[in-house]
Amino acid sequence: MHVTTAKLAEIKLTSQYLRLDTDVSALKKSVESVGLIHPVTVNQDRELLAGARRFQAVRELGWEELPVQVVDRDSLAQELISIDENLVRSPLGPIELERYLNRGREIYEALHPDANKVDLSADEPTAEQKLERREQEAQDEDSFAAVTAQKTGLSKAVIQGAIKRDALASDEVKRARSEGELNATATNEVIKLDRETQAKVLPLIAGKTAAETRRIVAAARAGGLDAAVEESEQVVPLPREYREMLAPVKRVNKSISRILIEELRYEGPQQRKINNELMTLKNNLVQYFRMVGIEK
């Protein structure tokens, strides 16, 4: 590994992990002020491995040359360098993060066969197994999850969960996630099934809560797809309006209870607005309870 200077025109932007469409305005100001502190990383063929944002900044500033760190590694090690750069420096979306973490794990474990492996088991561990895993993780310092946790500040549990979602999910599940039809919590349940069953269960859990999804997946694991269909049909769907109302109502009730218990009074400029909103809420609640047949 050595540092030299290269022309920007010579550098090849071929890596799939390069992020060349981000806002680098702040970075450009820093480079104009103090120069490029850290060189970008390239291989011997001048392919950019790490430092895409720095490259983008100096290119927009009109530089013709820049310092580069040249590495002489095999293709897997070069790919891992690019992944690490993204994990440490670039803001990634959840799907992209999961893909990078899982690919990084595959490469790391291939390059370090004696390191602890990330557990990819989809089975629900017993209490005894959970305790055993906690003890193992407490001593784990060389797995991909442990090493990446130190680099990124993410917990090992978050990293392991993200890796599992990418490693175990079917293409259909990944597509549903990318289109916003499935969140991480539901995905954690679905990946307990084999990939073929995952695709068949997706329509059954559409619009379901986490608890409902858990029940349907458990039924599929115990009795197959027919059992999952039967369980899904027993679920009374919760309308979106009710689902979105539950958490805010809990917070409002908690705040009102505290106000009443502590006799908190407010006579500031927002008093009229607050009272009007509460009066509207009161009238709506009277009508709601009348609608559902609960009147006192």
Would you state the pLDDT for residue 169?
A: 93
Written as six digits, the tokens of 96 are: 């992209």
Mean pLDDT of the chain: 86
Domain with CATH 3.90.1530.10 in the chain: 2-73
**Predicted model pTM:** 0.61
pLDDT (tens digit, 9 = 90+) per residue, 176-189?
998 988 999 999 99
Would you state the pLDDT for residue 73?
A: 66
Of 82, 2, 68, 4, the C-alpha closest to 40 is 68
C-alpha R_g of the chain: 27
- The dihedral built from the CA positions of residue 155, 157, 162 and 166, taken in this order, carries a sign that is positive
Would you state the pLDDT for residue 22?
A: 77
Cβ 116 vs Cβ 143: under 8 Å:
yes
Q: Name which CATH class applies to 2-73.
A: alpha beta
Q: CA 147, CA 1: separation in Å to the nearest integer?
A: 22
Percent of the chain residues topping a pLDDT of 70: 98
pLDDT (tens digit, 9 = 90+) per residue, 83-93?
777 777 667 78
pLDDT (tens digit, 9 = 90+) per residue, 180-228?
889 999 999 999 999 999 999 999 998 888 889 999 999 999 999 999 9
Would you state the pLDDT for residue 1?
A: 58
pLDDT (tens digit, 9 = 90+) per residue, 46-78?
888 878 888 888 899 989 889 988 877 677 777
Cβ 49 vs Cβ 19: under 8 Å:
no
Percent of the chain residues topping a pLDDT of 90: 33
SS3 content of the chain, % helix, strand, coil (to 5): 60, 5, 30
Written as six digits, the tokens of 179 are: 């289109």
Written as six digits, the tokens of 199 are: 């695709």
pLDDT (tens digit, 9 = 90+) per residue, 248-264?
999 999 999 999 999 89
pLDDT (tens digit, 9 = 90+) per residue, 138-162?
777 788 888 888 888 888 889 999 9
